[in-house]
Amino acid sequence: MTQPTLALIGTGGTIAGAASAASVSTDYKPASLSLAAVVDTVPELRQRYNIGVTQPMQLASYDVRPEHWLDLHAAVMQAVNNPHVVGIVVTHGTDTLEETATFLHLSVDSDKPIIVVGAMRPATAYSADGPANLLDACSVAACPGARGRGTLVVMNGRIHSGLWVGKRHVSSVEAFDSPLAGAVGEVADQAVQWFRAAGRAPTVAWQAPSAWPRVDIAVAYAGVDETAMRAFVAAGARGIVHAGLGNANTPTAYRAFIQSLPAQGVLVARCARFITGSVTRASVYADAQYGILTAGPLPPHKVRIVMLLGLAHGMDGPAIQAWIDRILLAG
Ligand code: SIN
* Average pLDDT, integer, range 3-13: 98
Q: What is the pLDDT of residue 280?
A: 87
Percent of the chain surpassing pLDDT 70: 99
Concatenate the DSSP letters of all residues of 280-298 into one string. PP-TTTTHHHHT-EE-BT-
In a domain, 209, yes or no: no
* Average pLDDT, integer, range 257-271: 95
In a domain, 168, yes or no: yes
- Residue 179's Cβ-side half-sphere holds a number of Cα atoms within 13 Å equal to 13
- Measured in Å, residue 93 CA sits from the centre of ligand 1 at 4
In a domain, 239, yes or no: yes
- Positions marked catalytic: 14
The mean of the pLDDT values for the chain is 96
Ligand 1: atom nearest CA of 119 is 8
Residues 29 and 32: their CA atoms lie apart, in Å, by: 6
Same domain, 152 and 34: yes
8 A C-beta contact, residue 9 and residue 79: yes
Q: What is the number of structural domains in the chain? A: 2
- Measured in Å, residue 320 CA sits from the centre of ligand 1 at 31
Best substitution site from 63, 97, 116 to test ligand 1's pocket, by max atoms within 8 Å of Cβ? 97
Q: What is the pLDDT of residue 245?
A: 94
Same domain, 36 and 79: yes
Instruction: Determine whether the shortest distance from the Cβ of 30 to ligand 1 is under 6 A.
Output: yes
In a domain, 286, yes or no: yes
pLDDT tier for residue 310 given thresholds of 50, 70 and 90: very high
Q: What are phi and psi of 75, to 5 degrees?
A: -65, -40
Domain that holds residue 321: 215-330
Position 287 pLDDT exceeds 80: yes
* Average pLDDT, integer, range 123-145: 97
Write the CATH number for 106: 3.40.50.1170
In a domain, 210, yes or no: no
234, 253, 254: which is closest to 242 by C-alpha?
Answer: 254
Q: What is the pLDDT of residue 283?
A: 64
8 A C-beta contact, residue 185 and residue 192: yes
* Number of helices and strands in the chain (H, E): 10, 16
In a domain, 204, yes or no: no
> Which of 194, 227, 251 marks a domain boundary?
194
CB atoms under 10 Å from CB of 271, counted, come to 25
Instruction: Determine whether the shortest distance from the Cβ of 113 to ligand 1 is under 6 A.
Output: no
Q: What is the pLDDT of residue 87?
A: 98
CB atoms under 10 Å from CB of 221, counted, come to 10
- Measured in Å, residue 323 CA sits from the centre of ligand 1 at 31
pTM greater than 0.85 (yes/no): yes
